[in-house]
Structure 1
Amino acid sequence: MPPIHEIVELVALLAIAGAIAGFLAGLFGIGGGAVLVPVFYQAFAMAGVADDIRMKLCVGTSLAIIIPTSLRSFQSHYKRGAVDMTLLRKWIIAVPFGAVASTLVIAYAPGALLRGVFAVLTLLIGLKMLYPKSAEWRLGDDLPENPALFGYGWFIGLLSGLIGIGGGTLNNTFMTLFNRPIHQAVATSAGVGVLISLPSFIGNIVGGWAKPGLPALSTGYVNWVAVALIIPITFAIAPLGVRAAHALTKRQLSFGFGIFLLIISARFFYSFF
């Protein structure tokens, strides 16, 4: 049993992290790792988690939290008939296959590699959000067929698993680039989040099993203190962010989220120096 003061300190830090993540998720309309991973990174650093496993712990814990939120979101969108179930059926192997591959990379790759991938992807997505005409970009009139479609699904699962996100940002970008409406993309992304988070959750527990230096109450690269705290706190605080979001225009929100991602990217790039 770890010392009680270590548990109390971690609980306090993660409670603050959950409040920040909840507000930002409500403000920017996302609930995945784009917000959670950087907040966890700071919280676990303050808790004294070693640099070589900190990013892996952030990614694994983020994906564990995404499971219930993705399932709830998918259920709601499915009832409205907004989910592209044909695409999800075609990706039933491709996306989890990519997610499992990501857990192998996490288990054996240095934490610096994960920080680098996260920094580059948040930089690219942030720049896209800042460009006002990016929503008009197109790669085709409809989704590609296999094997290209399988490859896209595998790649989305791999990248999402590597940086601890539910795949919404990447899948939204993919579907809209192939002329699918944004509302259908958002709804389908909830299902993609389930396909990514479930196998990643299992893989990150196995890959991090009994690793030295993990904080109190962790199983592999999943910290249960964070999971237990973040879900209810983010649900409670997110409406405050939503209220703030409705006071802003769509362009102001896109710009704000883009700036947020660029700041996060810069923070992770700075960690290499």
Structure 2
Amino acid sequence: MEQLQIGKITMTWLNGGVTHLDGGAMFGVVPKPLWSKKYPANDNNQIELRTDPILVQVDGKNILIESGIGNGKLSDKQKRNFGVTEESKLEQSLEQLGLTTSDIDIILMTHMHFDHACGLTKWEGDRLVSAFPRAEIMTSKIEWDEMRQPNIRSRNTYWKENWEPIAEQVVPFEKEKEVVSGVKMVHTGGHSAGHSIIIMESDGEMAIHMADLLATHAHQNVLWVMAYDDYPMTSIFEKQKWIPYAVEKQAWFTFYHDAYYRALKWDENGNMIAHVERNRS
């Protein structure tokens, strides 16, 4: 498991499963001859997208960013449509670290689309229960409201199976919230109305988790936004704001979906100057 140290904050990437989604949808109006140079597609025009939660350990707290795609949550048809070739092994990842799901104190949900939220619940016999019984689950109020009352478009990704069993654990916030000292969630909108990013700072170092505003390293160009984005111009404006901010602070960009990099740094000219590669063996 790959790790990154930011001051006193330790980040460890867990195995939350993998999807393969349409490359055209992931890069929106960008022509394939351009995006495929930066992120390869398979014969079905799908690109590999991890769904790997990040365990953030700081101040004695075990904090999870996102929850993976879970186990046994998707039908065979869904697994085929979403290119799922591996379901979550999150419990096994935690076990390697001497932890269980009951050791997770807080879960930060940048948004609650199925590929981020399926891991929040699990089957226990014939009923769904919380996969993290002790955790506070934090997401923006806007996201939480839409999760429970999705519109005609978003109901395809906001599923009651992923929120009903954990409703009493959810702690919604407005605008921004300091989770623990040095870890902050900031509502941005864009990918979804309630989408948030996460900023982590410790001992003069910084990491920024832009979630699906910057799904992979290949989305570095501020104009390269997904067809999945509900509010693409908001995504562009937020990328224009946060990418230069993070570069100026010499921050690490961390990824949930990227199949090649766990984290990286860019300089002011857009060149990669440091990286943590994902072990693909």
The TM-score normalised by the length of structure 2 is 0.25
Q: Which has a greater percent of helix?
A: 1
Relative contact order (alpha carbons < 8 A, sep ≥ 6): 1 or 2 greater?
Answer: 1
The TM-score normalised by the length of structure 1 is 0.25
Q: Which has a greater percent of strand?
A: 2
